[in-house]
């Protein structure tokens, strides 16, 4: 069996690192990943995927990326559940092993030229 995910998408927010007990760093990002086909209205739909990054990879991503940047991630899917107001909630997220910084937003590139 194999659990591996590759995604390319844009960050929906500026990354903000969280320092946890024991000195670990955690970063939660959401990637806007455009589907490869158009819907019946001729529009590309977008999925928003929650991704979790730890320690060094979290720190580097927070340092070098901002909202709108295009990144590639490699990781694995993880499902978990928790109780909220007496109801069980389920969430699936990507635990990221590797991030590739692909491109900054177009406006930022134009400003630097």
Structure tokens at 68: 């709108």
* pLDDT digits 0-9 by tens, 69-113: 999 999 999 999 999 999 999 999 999 999 999 988 755 544 444
Q: What percent of the chain has pLDDT over 90?
A: 87
Question: CATH top-level class for 5-112?
Answer: mainly beta
The pTM is what?
0.83
Confidence tier at 58 by pLDDT (50, 70, 90) = very high
Q: What is the pLDDT at residue 104?
A: 81
| Residues 27, 32, 37: CA angle, nearest 5 degrees | 150
Q: What is the pLDDT at residue 107?
A: 54
Q: How far apart are alpha carbons 38 and 111 in whole angstroms?
A: 32
């Amino acid at each position: 069996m194999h659990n591996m995910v590759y995604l390319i998408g844009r960050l929906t927010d500026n990354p903000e690192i969280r320092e946890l007990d024991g000195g670990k760093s955690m970063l939660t990002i959401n990637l806007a990943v455009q589907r490869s086909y158009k819907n019946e209205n001729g529009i590309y739909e977008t999925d928003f995927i929650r991704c979790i990054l730890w320690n060094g990879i979290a720190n580097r991503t927070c340092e070098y990326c901002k909202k709108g940047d295009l990144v590639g991630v490699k990781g694995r899917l993880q499902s978990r559940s928790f109780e909220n107001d007496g109801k069980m909630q389920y969430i699936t997220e990507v635990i990221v092993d590797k991030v590739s910084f692909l491109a900054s937003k177009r406006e930022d590139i134009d400003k630097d030229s």
